[in-house]
A and B are shown apart, each in its own frame.
Chain A
């Protein structure tokens, strides 16, 4: 079951086709990576999902029903990339206020805030002001405020920027825990190693269009280049053979690319027949980083302004 479905979504600004006909499905309980270079249209897409912008065309379905910003905001938690809180307001009151704006009653909000503050060891913060917090502390608070009202769909824009590894892990664990309990998480970033680690499904957007969609595994499979790494006890002097080409060597490790029509077994039997002893043999899959760069490469690093017709 898909919690969120976007159908041919479009949003044009005066000088940009910010989102140009994007469709995608996000299954319930998944951790979904929304990737793309700067200015690809991620923020605009998210703002439509959070009800801040209305799409120019297309449909958003939440739980199979047409998205109704007025009532559905209760089910969405959004942490924007640029963090924002009232600097002069006390932290406890601020959390209470923002939770109530989401539709929680005062008592309900109070109870949840206390739970979260205990979990994140933030009890002593209640009467402090945001301006007293460090950047990382502010980030934690922002995360708590985002998830406080237990939304079904949480959208996190670069949630780990500015966090030390300990706090990043704390939030990562919370993300896993929430996903396990059935919350869907959309995770917008351009930090590929985090995506690889956390997400099960990704979408890559560039210049307002979707250019890649699938599970992390399937995407990697699609972009693999038949590269294998073989570790041998001793590197043979001649390697020439019809099965593969040598791409590189590193100490006693060979990186090979298997030729069309041959299989990994051919490579292994080649070395066995040669009498070399194999220590390890594994396939090299491209990292998401490589795929990202490959797909986005060639497009200018900054998005150009374009004329929008119609």
Chain B
């Protein structure tokens, strides 16, 4: 037992003291935020912006109506073309237009409409036509309103809508929006940690094997102790990193609260964190997150350790052998999306109980509320099965590891590895 502690200590300290750990701990949240805001920014930058010429034979699409919609949205400008129509049709592209469309004189504001053709010299994506379509429809609505004699006051009356908000009577403070966000954050964080630290276990084992230290060490300790020590040591590193992030959030929260007047951004962030605290059971989410982080990590990393023990110097072998394991993690993240949009569905329930997907899917469901969305029996069953699951994978992996760590030469196939596992 004492020897496992020594191994854990070494694995932990050598990793935590590395510069890459410190940099990773600081950079990951920044990259994570960067990813979210960056993609948002790029999406905004890449909004479709088409400049369209409108040739109107009906006289309904007046300059005044077009100006009104152009004023509301400067992108996707529509210009009314009334002179030199034939010239325009030939040279629209040189004049900075992406295309043009013609409104026939026969158009009837009361009747049904066929679709119009927008003439262009390029092929655009489906998304590109939507803003133009919306603008044209706003003009069309104006035309119909005016023809029916509906004034602004009546328009106001017509525009009122029913908004539905789902209120959980068992949990008045539940907020589906925030729960969804927290669910996504938890699920993705779990996914990153499982993959990142799982591959660290795999590479660590391979390193020990290829540098031949394994043989020296297993002449002092049992292979199982070495494997377990490594897994626990790296799990502690992952946990440390997670705790540092949580601490970071609390510091931001407290600093922000105390200097509340400081600035808009800070107060907004504090306000968001505050609303998270009131609508989500934070201690429960944190506690279960740590449980699933460790459980999921032991489940997957022991498999990664088995693969690490089977491969030799060649990292491509690692990729092909670890592919099935990585697929399981990716499959779990694929199950997470439907589980978040309907956290009570049978798919979500079973995916959060079966051990391989439960760490990610259950963490996506828990923010919706325990025991309202996730009954206690589901949580308990899921946890028990995860513990049973990782005991099984660790046992299985240990058998492969024991043989693999001292086996050099040809890369074994999965079939051979399974044979190792079931040998006495």
User: How distant is the Cα of A103 from the Cα of B14 in the complex, in angstroms?
Assistant: 21
A103–B6 Cα distance when bound, in Å, is 10
- Whether A84 contacts B216 by the Cβ 8 Å rule is yes
29 examples of A-B residue contacts, CB within 8 angstroms? A50-B219, A51-B219, A52-B219, A52-B406, A73-B220, A73-B221, A78-B215, A78-B216, A80-B215, A80-B219, A82-B215, A83-B212, A84-B208, A84-B212, A84-B213, A84-B214, A84-B216, A85-B213, A85-B216, A86-B211, A88-B14, A97-B6, A97-B10, A98-B216, A98-B217, A101-B3, A101-B6, A102-B220, A103-B3
User: Which residue of chain A has its CB nearest to the CB of B214?
Assistant: A84
**Bound state CA distance, A20 and B217, in angstroms?**
26
B218 located at the interface, meaning its Cβ lies under 8 Å from any Cβ of chain A in the complex:
yes
Complex CA gap A76/B214 in Å reads 16
Contacts of B208 in A (CB 8 A): 84, 86
What A residues does B6 contact at CB under 8 A?
97, 100-101
Question: Which of B216, B220, B221, B406 lies in contact with A47, CB distance below 8 A?
Answer: B406
| A84 contacts across to B, CB distance below 8 A | 208, 211-216
Determine the distance from Cα of A79 to Cα of B219 in the docked complex, in whole angstroms: 10
Q: Is the CB of B217 within 8 A of A101?
A: yes
CB nearest neighbor in A for B223: A52
A73 to chain B, nearest CB (A): 5
Contact A73 B219, CB 8 Å, known A97-B6, A101-B6: yes
Instruction: Check if A89 is an interface residue, CB within 8 A of chain B.
Output: yes
- Known contacts A85-B216, A98-B217; 18 further A-B pairs (Cβ under 8 A): A47-B406, A52-B215, A52-B218, A73-B219, A73-B221, A79-B216, A82-B215, A83-B212, A84-B213, A84-B214, A85-B213, A86-B14, A86-B211, A86-B213, A89-B14, A97-B10, A101-B220, A145-B216
Q: Smallest distance from the beta carbon of A156 to chain B beta carbons, Å?
A: 13
* Bound Cα distance A102, B213 (Å): 14
Question: Which residues in B have their C-beta under 8 angstroms from that of A79?
Answer: 216
CA distance A101 to B221 in the complex (A): 7
Shortest distance between the CB of A232 and any CB in chain B (Å): 56
What CA separation (Å) do A295 and B220 show in the bound complex? 35
Measured between beta carbons, the chain B residues less than 8 angstroms from A87 are 211
A15 → chain B closest CB, angstroms: 12
User: Using Cβ atoms and an 8 Å threshold, which residues of chain B touch A52?
Assistant: 215, 218-219, 406
Which of chain A's residues has its CB closest to B407's CB? A13
Q: Mark A81-120, 1 if CB is under 8 A from B, else 0.
A: 0111111110000000110111100000000000000000
B15 to chain A minimum Cβ distance, whole angstroms, is: 11
> Which 6 residue pairs across A and B have the least CB separation, nearest first?
A84-B212, A84-B213, A82-B212, A101-B220, A50-B219, A78-B219
Contact with A along B182-223 (1 / 0, CB 8 A): 000000000000000000000000001001111111111110
- Measured CB to CB, the closest approach of chain A to B249, in angstroms, equals 32
Residues of B within 8 A of A89 (CB): 14
Count of A-B contacts with CB under 8 A? 57
Give Cα A51 to B402, complex, Å.
12
Which of chain A's residues have a CB closer than 8 A to the CB of B215? 52, 78, 80, 82, 84
Determine the distance from Cα of A89 to Cα of B15 in the docked complex, in whole angstroms: 11
Cα A151 to Cα B261 in complex, Å, equals 69
Name the residue on B nearest A56 (C-beta).
Answer: B424
**A47, A85, A100, A101 — most chain B CB neighbours (10 Å):** A101
CA distance A98 to B3 in the complex (A): 10
**Smallest CB–CB gap between A35 and chain B, Å?**
21
Chain A residues lying within 8 Å of B10, measured Cβ to Cβ, are 97
Report the Cα distance A276→B30, complex, angstroms: 98
Instruction: Name the distance in Å between B113's Cβ and chain A's nearest Cβ.
Output: 72
Distance of A70 Cα from B222 Cα, bound (Å): 8
Closest Cβ neighbor of A54 among chain B residues: B424
Per the bound structure, the CA–CA distance linking A47 and B10 in Å amounts to: 25
B219 touches A76 (CB 8 A): yes
What residues of A have a CB within 8 angstroms of the CB of B3 in the complex? 101, 103
Q: How far is the CA of A73 from the CA of B216 in the complex (A)?
A: 11
Chain A residues 243-275 with CB under 8 Å of chain B are none
**For B222, what are the chain A residues with a Cβ–Cβ distance below 8 Å?**
69-70
The contact string, 1 if C-beta is below 8 Å from chain A, for chain B 153-169, is 00000000000000000
Within 8 Å CB of B218, what residues of A? 52
Q: For chain A residues 44-90, which have a beta carbon within 8 Å of chain B? A: 47, 50-52, 69-70, 73, 76, 78-80, 82-89
Give the residues in chain A near B216, CB-CB below 8 Å.
78-80, 84-85, 98, 145
Task: Name the B residues within 8 Å of A83 (CB-CB).
Answer: 212
Beta-carbon nearest neighbor of A49 in chain B:
B219
Nearest CB of B to A19, in Å: 15
Min CB distance B19 to A, Å, is 12
With the chains together, A82 CA to B219 CA distance in Å? 14
A80-B212 contact, Cβ under 8 Å, with A88-B14, A89-B14, A101-B6 = yes
Contacts of B406 in A (CB 8 A): 47, 52
| B126-159 near A? 1/0 per residue, CB < 8 Å | 0000000000000000000000000000000000
Residues of B within 8 A of A50 (CB): 219
Distance between Cα atoms of A145 and B215 in the complex (Å): 13
Q: List residues of chain B with CB within 8 A of the CB of A97.
A: 6, 10
Question: In the bound complex, what is the Cα–Cα distance between A78 and B219 (angstroms)?
Answer: 7
In Å, the complex CA distance between A84 and B384 comes to 40
Residues in A neighbouring B213, C-beta threshold 8 A: 84-86
CB distance from B218 to the nearest CB of A (A): 5
Which chain B positions have C-beta within 8 A of A100? 6
* Shortest beta-carbon distance from B12 to chain A in Å: 13
List A5-60 residues whose CB lies under 8 Å from chain B. 47, 50-52
Contacts of A145 in B (CB 8 A): 216
Residue of B nearest to A87 (CB): B211
Which partner residue on chain B sits nearest A73 by CB separation? Answer: B220
Q: Which residue of chain B lies nearest to A69 when distances are taken between CB atoms in the complex?
A: B222
- A76 to B220 Cα, complex, angstroms: 9
Complex CA–CA separation, A76 to B6 (angstroms) = 19
Closest beta carbon of chain A to B7's beta carbon, Å: 8
Tell me which of A85, A98, A103 contacts B211 (CB under 8 A). A85
Complex Cα distance, B222 from A88, in Å, reads 23
**How far, in Å, is B398 (CB) from chain A's closest CB?**
15
Report how far A51 CA is from B216 CA in the complex, Å.
11
A89 to B406, CA, bound (A): 22
Shortest CB-to-CB span from A245 to chain B, Å, is 50
Q: In the complex the two chains form, what is the Cα distance from A70 to B406 in whole Å?
A: 19
Q: Using Cβ atoms and an 8 Å threshold, which residues of chain B touch A102?
A: 220
Give residues 268-307 of B contacting A (CB, 8 Å).
none
Residue of A whose beta carbon sits closest to that of B216: A84
CB distance from A10 to the nearest CB of B (A): 14
CA distance A152 to B218 in the complex (A): 18
